[in-house]
Homo-oligomer: A and B are copies of this chain.
Amino acid sequence: MATPFSMGWVLITEGKEKRLDPDDNLFEVTFDGYQLFPMHEHLEVRRHLKSDQIGTANIEQLTLKDGRTICHYRLVSLYSVN
């Protein structure tokens, strides 16, 4: 009788993010399990666990449902890789 939650502090997208609006920097990514993050704070964004930081984002919304977490985050800076 316990509900598992994971507490993360780096946003790892695995390249599965979707832009919610072409004119806006708001993205959605879904995680397995119930995942909590600091809200409305600058978090590091990476594509994979072991890859470099690709940007900084604020999490604006977390929806816990059906054993998954739908995360809406706003990209506040993007690291250029040119």
The residues of A with any CB-CB pair to B shorter than 8 Å are 1-10, 12, 34-41, 49, 60-65
Contact = CB atoms under 8 A, between A and B. Distances in A.
Contacts of A61: 63-65
A1 B5 contact: no
A36 to B, nearest CB: 6
Given A3-B38, A62-B63, A62-B64, 17 more contacts: A1-B41, A1-B49, A3-B6, A3-B8, A3-B37, A3-B39, A4-B5, A5-B6, A5-B7, A7-B36, A7-B38, A60-B65, A61-B63, A61-B64, A61-B65, A63-B64, A64-B64
Nearest to A71: B64
